[in-house]
Protein backbone atom coordinates (compact mmCIF):
# COMPACT_ATOMS: atom_id res chain seq x y z
CA UNK A 1 0.00 0.00 0.00
CA UNK A 2 1.16 3.52 -0.81
CA UNK A 3 -0.28 5.88 1.80
CA UNK A 4 -1.42 9.33 0.80
CA UNK A 5 0.00 12.24 2.72
CA UNK A 6 -1.85 13.81 5.66
CA UNK A 7 -2.07 17.04 3.66
CA UNK A 8 -3.66 15.24 0.70
CA UNK A 9 -6.25 13.61 2.96
CA UNK A 10 -7.20 16.88 4.62
CA UNK A 11 -7.31 18.67 1.28
CA UNK A 12 -9.84 16.11 0.01
CA UNK A 13 -11.99 16.46 3.12
CA UNK A 14 -11.85 20.26 2.99
CA UNK A 15 -12.86 20.10 -0.68
CA UNK A 16 -15.94 17.93 -0.17
CA UNK A 17 -19.32 19.36 0.78
CA UNK A 18 -22.95 18.30 0.55
CA UNK A 19 -23.41 19.07 -3.13
CA UNK A 20 -26.68 20.86 -3.80
CA UNK A 21 -26.45 21.14 -7.60
CA UNK A 22 -24.91 18.46 -9.79
CA UNK A 23 -23.87 18.90 -13.40
CA UNK A 24 -26.18 16.45 -15.23
CA UNK A 25 -23.81 16.39 -18.21
CA UNK A 26 -20.98 14.82 -16.22
CA UNK A 27 -20.79 11.10 -15.51
CA UNK A 28 -18.52 9.26 -13.12
CA UNK A 29 -16.06 7.10 -15.13
CA UNK A 30 -16.59 3.34 -14.96
CA UNK A 31 -13.24 2.75 -13.24
CA UNK A 32 -14.09 5.28 -10.53
CA UNK A 33 -17.57 3.93 -9.88
CA UNK A 34 -16.11 0.43 -9.67
CA UNK A 35 -13.68 1.66 -7.01
CA UNK A 36 -16.56 3.36 -5.16
CA UNK A 37 -18.59 0.14 -5.21
CA UNK A 38 -15.63 -1.87 -3.96
CA UNK A 39 -15.06 0.68 -1.19
CA UNK A 40 -18.65 0.08 -0.07
CA UNK A 41 -18.12 -3.68 -0.08
CA UNK A 42 -14.95 -3.17 1.98
CA UNK A 43 -16.74 -1.14 4.66
CA UNK A 44 -16.28 -2.38 8.23
CA UNK A 45 -19.22 -3.63 10.28
CA UNK A 46 -19.85 -5.13 13.70
CA UNK A 47 -18.55 -8.73 13.73
CA UNK A 48 -18.08 -8.31 9.98
CA UNK A 49 -21.70 -9.42 9.47
CA UNK A 50 -22.34 -6.75 6.79
CA UNK A 51 -26.14 -6.43 7.27
CA UNK A 52 -26.63 -4.25 4.21
CA UNK A 53 -27.27 -3.93 0.52
CA UNK A 54 -26.29 -1.02 -1.71
CA UNK A 55 -28.36 -0.13 -4.76
CA UNK A 56 -26.79 2.01 -7.48
CA UNK A 57 -29.41 3.80 -9.57
CA UNK A 58 -28.60 5.28 -12.98
CA UNK A 59 -31.91 4.70 -14.79
CA UNK A 60 -33.47 8.15 -15.44
CA UNK A 61 -37.00 6.76 -15.07
CA UNK A 62 -36.29 5.31 -11.65
CA UNK A 63 -34.60 8.53 -10.55
CA UNK A 64 -37.66 10.48 -11.70
CA UNK A 65 -39.95 8.14 -9.77
CA UNK A 66 -37.87 8.65 -6.62
CA UNK A 67 -37.77 12.45 -6.94
CA UNK A 68 -41.17 13.26 -5.33
CA UNK A 69 -40.26 10.95 -2.45
CA UNK A 70 -36.99 12.86 -1.94
CA UNK A 71 -38.52 16.22 -1.07
CA UNK A 72 -38.07 17.05 -4.79
CA UNK A 73 -34.35 17.53 -4.25
CA UNK A 74 -32.97 17.73 -7.78
CA UNK A 75 -29.71 16.01 -6.85
CA UNK A 76 -31.65 12.76 -7.24
CA UNK A 77 -32.17 13.25 -10.97
CA UNK A 78 -29.12 15.35 -11.86
CA UNK A 79 -26.49 13.16 -10.23
CA UNK A 80 -24.46 10.63 -12.17
CA UNK A 81 -25.15 7.76 -9.77
CA UNK A 82 -27.66 7.58 -6.92
CA UNK A 83 -26.53 5.19 -4.19
CA UNK A 84 -29.28 3.88 -1.91
CA UNK A 85 -27.95 2.29 1.26
CA UNK A 86 -30.21 -0.33 2.81
CA UNK A 87 -30.18 -2.23 6.11
CA UNK A 88 -31.16 -5.86 6.65
CA UNK A 89 -34.52 -5.86 8.38
CA UNK A 90 -33.76 -8.91 10.51
CA UNK A 91 -30.29 -10.36 10.95
CA UNK A 92 -30.61 -14.10 11.50
CA UNK A 93 -28.62 -17.28 12.00
CA UNK A 94 -28.47 -17.74 8.23
CA UNK A 95 -26.57 -14.45 7.94
CA UNK A 96 -24.05 -15.72 10.46
CA UNK A 97 -23.65 -19.00 8.60
CA UNK A 98 -23.13 -17.11 5.35
CA UNK A 99 -20.34 -15.08 6.96
CA UNK A 100 -18.72 -18.13 8.54
CA UNK A 101 -18.63 -19.93 5.19
CA UNK A 102 -17.06 -16.86 3.61
CA UNK A 103 -14.41 -16.70 6.36
CA UNK A 104 -13.63 -20.41 6.01
CA UNK A 105 -13.31 -20.14 2.23
CA UNK A 106 -11.23 -16.97 2.17
CA UNK A 107 -8.90 -17.95 5.01
CA UNK A 108 -8.75 -21.65 4.17
CA UNK A 109 -9.83 -22.83 7.61
CA UNK A 110 -12.33 -25.42 8.81
CA UNK A 111 -15.79 -24.21 9.81
CA UNK A 112 -15.46 -26.11 13.08
CA UNK A 113 -12.54 -23.88 14.07
CA UNK A 114 -14.91 -20.90 14.04
CA UNK A 115 -17.38 -22.36 16.53
CA UNK A 116 -16.53 -19.96 19.35
CA UNK A 117 -16.91 -16.95 17.06
CA UNK A 118 -20.18 -18.38 15.74
CA UNK A 119 -21.54 -18.81 19.27
CA UNK A 120 -20.59 -15.24 20.18
CA UNK A 121 -22.35 -13.81 17.13
CA UNK A 122 -25.42 -15.99 17.64
CA UNK A 123 -25.71 -14.89 21.24
CA UNK A 124 -25.49 -11.26 20.19
CA UNK A 125 -28.22 -11.34 17.56
CA UNK A 126 -30.54 -13.50 19.68
CA UNK A 127 -30.49 -10.88 22.44
CA UNK A 128 -31.94 -8.26 20.08
CA UNK A 129 -35.66 -7.83 19.51
CA UNK A 130 -36.78 -6.87 15.96
CA UNK A 131 -36.63 -3.14 16.70
CA UNK A 132 -33.13 -3.42 18.12
CA UNK A 133 -32.02 -5.55 15.19
CA UNK A 134 -32.96 -3.02 12.51
CA UNK A 135 -31.55 -0.16 14.59
CA UNK A 136 -28.24 -2.02 14.86
CA UNK A 137 -28.20 -2.76 11.12
CA UNK A 138 -28.87 0.89 10.30
CA UNK A 139 -25.94 1.89 12.50
CA UNK A 140 -23.74 -0.34 10.35
CA UNK A 141 -25.09 1.30 7.19
CA UNK A 142 -23.98 4.70 8.43
CA UNK A 143 -20.45 3.36 8.85
CA UNK A 144 -20.59 2.40 5.16
CA UNK A 145 -21.95 5.84 4.27
CA UNK A 146 -18.93 7.44 5.92
CA UNK A 147 -16.58 5.19 3.98
CA UNK A 148 -18.46 5.96 0.76
CA UNK A 149 -18.21 9.72 1.18
CA UNK A 150 -14.55 9.68 2.18
CA UNK A 151 -13.66 7.43 -0.75
CA UNK A 152 -15.55 9.73 -3.10
CA UNK A 153 -13.75 12.80 -1.79
CA UNK A 154 -10.34 11.19 -2.26
CA UNK A 155 -11.32 10.39 -5.87
CA UNK A 156 -12.56 13.93 -6.49
CA UNK A 157 -16.19 12.83 -6.74
CA UNK A 158 -18.95 14.92 -5.21
CA UNK A 159 -21.66 13.48 -3.00
CA UNK A 160 -24.62 14.54 -0.90
CA UNK A 161 -25.92 12.33 1.93
CA UNK A 162 -29.72 12.54 2.05
CA UNK A 163 -32.01 11.51 4.88
CA UNK A 164 -34.77 13.69 3.46
CA UNK A 165 -36.45 10.80 1.68
CA UNK A 166 -39.46 8.55 2.21
CA UNK A 167 -37.88 5.13 2.84
CA UNK A 168 -41.12 3.19 2.36
CA UNK A 169 -41.62 4.68 -1.11
CA UNK A 170 -38.01 3.99 -2.02
CA UNK A 171 -38.58 0.39 -0.91
CA UNK A 172 -41.66 0.15 -3.13
CA UNK A 173 -40.08 1.71 -6.22
CA UNK A 174 -36.88 -0.33 -5.91
CA UNK A 175 -38.82 -3.54 -5.26
CA UNK A 176 -37.32 -4.09 -1.83
CA UNK A 177 -40.74 -4.68 -0.29
CA UNK A 178 -41.27 -7.71 -2.54
CA UNK A 179 -38.48 -9.75 -0.98
CA UNK A 180 -39.24 -12.55 1.49
CA UNK A 181 -39.22 -11.32 5.09
CA UNK A 182 -36.01 -13.19 5.87
CA UNK A 183 -34.22 -11.49 2.96
CA UNK A 184 -35.74 -8.02 3.20
CA UNK A 185 -33.66 -4.85 3.20
CA UNK A 186 -34.97 -1.41 4.11
CA UNK A 187 -33.89 1.91 2.65
CA UNK A 188 -31.91 3.84 5.25
CA UNK A 189 -30.23 6.76 3.49
CA UNK A 190 -29.49 7.91 -0.07
CA UNK A 191 -26.35 9.47 -1.51
CA UNK A 192 -26.38 11.13 -4.94
CA UNK A 193 -22.92 11.20 -6.51
CA UNK A 194 -21.39 12.99 -9.46
CA UNK A 195 -19.75 16.33 -10.12
CA UNK A 196 -20.74 19.74 -8.82
CA UNK A 197 -22.28 22.31 -11.11
CA UNK A 198 -20.46 25.59 -11.63
CA UNK A 199 -23.75 27.19 -10.56
CA UNK A 200 -23.75 25.62 -7.09
CA UNK A 201 -23.18 28.61 -4.83
CA UNK A 202 -22.65 26.33 -1.84
CA UNK A 203 -19.38 25.07 -3.31
CA UNK A 204 -17.78 28.44 -2.63
CA UNK A 205 -18.90 28.78 0.98
CA UNK A 206 -16.40 28.34 3.78
CA UNK A 207 -16.68 25.01 5.58
CA UNK A 208 -18.11 25.47 9.07
CA UNK A 209 -16.82 23.05 11.69
CA UNK A 210 -16.08 23.43 15.37
CA UNK A 211 -12.35 23.62 16.18
CA UNK A 212 -10.69 20.26 16.79
CA UNK A 213 -9.85 21.45 20.30
CA UNK A 214 -13.58 21.58 21.07
CA UNK A 215 -14.54 18.18 19.72
CA UNK A 216 -11.48 16.07 20.53
CA UNK A 217 -10.19 15.29 24.02
CA UNK A 218 -6.97 13.51 24.90
CA UNK A 219 -6.47 11.37 27.98
The reply to whether 79 and 154 lie within a common domain is yes
Q: What is the pLDDT of residue 178?
A: 97
Statement to judge: residues 75 and 154 lie in one domain:
yes
| Residue 36 located in a structural domain | yes
Please indicate, yes or no, whether residues 22 and 96 belong to a single structural domain of this protein. Answer: no
| Domain extent at residue 118 | 92-127
Tens digits of pLDDT across the chain (219 residues): 999 999 999 999 999 999 999 999 999 999 999 999 999 999 999 999 999 999 999 999 999 999 999 999 999 999 999 999 999 999 999 999 999 999 999 999 999 999 999 999 999 999 999 999 999 999 999 999 999 999 999 999 999 999 999 999 999 999 999 999 999 999 999 999 999 999 999 999 999 999 999 999 999
Q: Within a domain: residue 98?
A: yes
Kindly state whether residues 114 and 32 are assigned to the same domain.
Answer: no
- Note the pLDDT of residue 95: 98
What is the per-residue pLDDT for 201? 96
Task: Produce one character per residue of 168-202: b if its CB has 16 or more CB atoms within 10 Å, e if not.
Answer: ebbbebbebeeeeeeebbbbbbbbbbbbbbeebee
Average pLDDT over all residues of the chain:
98
Whether 210 maps to a domain, the answer reads yes
Which CATH number do you get for residue 205?
3.40.109.10
So what's the pLDDT on residue 165? Answer: 99
The pLDDT assigned to 79 comes to 99
> Do 39 and 70 belong to one domain?
yes
Is residue 25 domain-shared with residue 47, that is, in the same domain? yes
Do residues 151 and 123 both lie within one domain?
no
Q: In this structure, are 144 and 210 located in the same domain?
A: yes
Quick check: is 3 in a domain?
no
Q: Within a domain: residue 48?
A: yes
The reply to whether 80 and 100 lie within a common domain is no
Task: Give the pLDDT score at 66.
Answer: 99
Quote the CA–CA distance of 104 and 145 in Å, as a whole number: 28
Do 20 and 122 lie in one domain? The reply is no
| 16/59 same-domain check | yes
Same domain assignment for residues 39 and 27: yes
Task: Count CB-CB contacts under 10 A for residue 13.
Answer: 14
Query: CB atoms < 10 A from the CB of 2, how many?
Result: 3
pTM over 0.95: yes
In a domain, 5, yes or no: no
Q: CA geometry: angle at 13 spanning 70 and 147, to 5°?
A: 60
Amino acid sequence: MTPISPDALLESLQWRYATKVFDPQKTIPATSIQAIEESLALSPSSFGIQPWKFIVVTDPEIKAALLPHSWNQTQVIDCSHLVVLCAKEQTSESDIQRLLKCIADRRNVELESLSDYAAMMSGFIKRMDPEQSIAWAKNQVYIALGQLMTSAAVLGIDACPMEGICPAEYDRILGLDQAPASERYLTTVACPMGYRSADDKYAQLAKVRFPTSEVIDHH
